[in-house]
Structure 1
Amino acid sequence: MIKIVLIGSGNVAHHLIAAFAKSKKASIIQVFARQKETITAPFDSNKVTDNLADLARADVYIIAVSDDAIAKVSAQLPFENRLVVHTSGTVSLDALDPKNRKGIFYPLQTFSKNKAVDFSQIPICIESEIQTDYEILEKLAKNVSDKVYKINSIQRKSLHISAVFVNNFVNHLYQKGQEICIENDLPFAILKPLILETANKVMSLSPEEAQTGPAKRNDNQTIQAHLAALTDENQKKIYTILTQSIQNNGTKL
């Protein structure tokens, strides 16, 4: 049984608690939270501490805190030569304090506490400095996910940028679409089948192959009509930039 101490109480920590609760080969034996009441996932309150000095002995310490707090928390750990990993998509392995063995345990997914996820389908990106530590992290990851990848810090940073494009930016475009619907007394729900079909297409086609729309077919008449209909300057700017990007992509073929 791989023993885990989880440090953090945010969205990632919440879902890691739920995922490892189902594991038969790994167990979270303790959770650290500066405010105990922020632990919202089902977990024995007697195993929650708000004092780093009271951290239990474990095989792996997973730091699941905000990116800007990782280095500070790592430096405050009251022990040496233990395996300490973080869950960030952008923070380097080098941010972890060198007094301990370093690693990465990055689940590539968007997490919200009030939205359950199937952790078995979440890619987990792992990295370590020592092969034996990698083997521990690989076993740990495979206990909760069917999709485990060995990815270095440079690759992980690029992966996170890609994730921002396909997740955060796309979701922001959903918001802009919703605003246009509201402005014109239309239900946003009418777009949801289209959203699902667009997402499903890239499961079998490349994004380039799946691209459709007026920009793809250089339908300038429709493009100009859309721009004329938009009254919000920010929406016009976004529409123009994305249209140009799609058209420029076509010139590379």
Structure 2
Amino acid sequence: MIKVALVGTGNVSEHLKRAISKTSEIEVVQVLNSRNEDLSKSLKKIGRQLPDIYIIAVSDDAIPSVSQHFSHTEKLVVHTSGSVPMDALPKQMRKGVIYPLQTLSKAEKVNFKDVPLCIEASQEDDLELLRKLGQAISDQVFEISSEKRKYLHLAAVFVNNFTNHLYSIGAEICKEQQLPFTMLHPLIKETARKIKFLSPEDAQTGPARRNDTGTMQRHMELLNNEKDKTLYRLLSDSIKDSYGKKL
């Protein structure tokens, strides 16, 4: 039985707790508040339920300060960030990373078996311990270095966070024109489905892909603010540059 203490009470911590609760190989023995004063008190009271792994699931900027509370532990300490290197944890400790590559919200259920987990550790024994933990909750466990993981996280920001922001702009346009945003749901679903069997390059469609300058100009005239116009122009130019030689 692998005993785990979760440090933090946010989205990642909550989903890890739910996933672990479905296994018989892992037990969450503590969920610790990451605020400095609460964390110090909790660590003094942890007693006999000493975990094998402390999982720090806090914001990226908080990882260095929170991890200092564990600088003298002999147990494995890992964080869950995609962009923070493993070496952000104190030098002398047993350290690692377990990064779930998924957008996570507390209110939404996620099948963690489908979530890719990126693991890394400073010692081979600890890497094996993380692999056992990962394989208990996910069918997709990958050993990924900090150097590779930061690029993976960058790619994730483009395909998820930036895409979701574009959904927000589309939703606002629909709202302004009293159109139901739900009309775009089938399009969003089909766009995501296509890249399972087509490369994003081959799946690209739209006026910029066709270099349909008249349509693009009409779209620009419909946009009400300069930020959206700039974004439309930058994205269209990027698409045109990517496909210009093929038009």
| TM score, norm. by length of structure 2 | 0.93
Question: Which residue is 1:179 aligned to?
Answer: 172
Which has the larger helix fraction? 2
**SS of corresponding position for 1:216:** helix
Question: Which residue is 1:85 aligned to?
Answer: 78
Contact 1:34/1:51 (8 A) holds in 2: no
Moved more, 52-61 or 151-160: 52-61
Alpha-carbon RMSD across the aligned residues, in angstroms, is 1.7
Q: Residues of 1 paired with 2:135 and 2:34: CA distance?
A: 29
Distance 1:218 1:159, change over 3 A: same
| Equivalences for residues 161-200 of structure 1 within 5 A | 161-200=154-193
| Per-residue deviation, residues 50-99 of structure 1 (Å, max 9, x unmatched) | 62222342211111111111111111127433211000111111111123
Deviation of 1:206 after TM superposition, in Å, equals 0.7
Q: Residues of 1 paired with 2:52 and 2:144: CA distance?
A: 21
Q: Residues of 1 paired with 2:151 and 2:71: CA distance?
A: 33
Q: Residues of 2 paired with 1:54 and 1:16: CA distance?
A: 23
Question: Which residue is 1:100 aligned to?
Answer: 93
Q: Does 1:157 align with 2:157?
A: no
Q: Does 1:54 align with 2:35?
A: no
Question: Which residue is 1:44 aligned to?
Answer: none
Q: Residues of 1 paired with 2:245 and 2:100: CA distance?
A: 33
Q: Between Structure 1 and Structure 2, how many residues are aligned? A: 241
Contact 2:112/2:137 (8 A) holds in 1: yes
Q: For residue 71 of structure 1, what is the amino acid of its counterpart?
A: P
Question: Which residue is 2:225 aligned to?
Answer: 232
Q: For residue 43 of structure 2, what is the amino acid of its counterpart?
A: L
**SS of corresponding position for 2:161:** helix
Q: For residue 232 of structure 2, what is the amino acid of its counterpart?
A: Y
Contact 1:33/1:49 (8 A) holds in 2: no
Deviation of 1:155 after TM superposition, in Å, equals 0.8
| TM score, norm. by length of structure 1 | 0.91
Could you list the structure 1 runs, at least 4 aligned residues long, displaced by more than 6 angstroms after superposition: none
Contact 2:113/2:138 (8 A) holds in 1: yes
Q: For residue 42 of structure 2, what is the amino acid of its counterpart?
A: N
Distance 1:16 1:178, change over 3 A: same
Question: Which residue is 2:204 aligned to?
Answer: 211
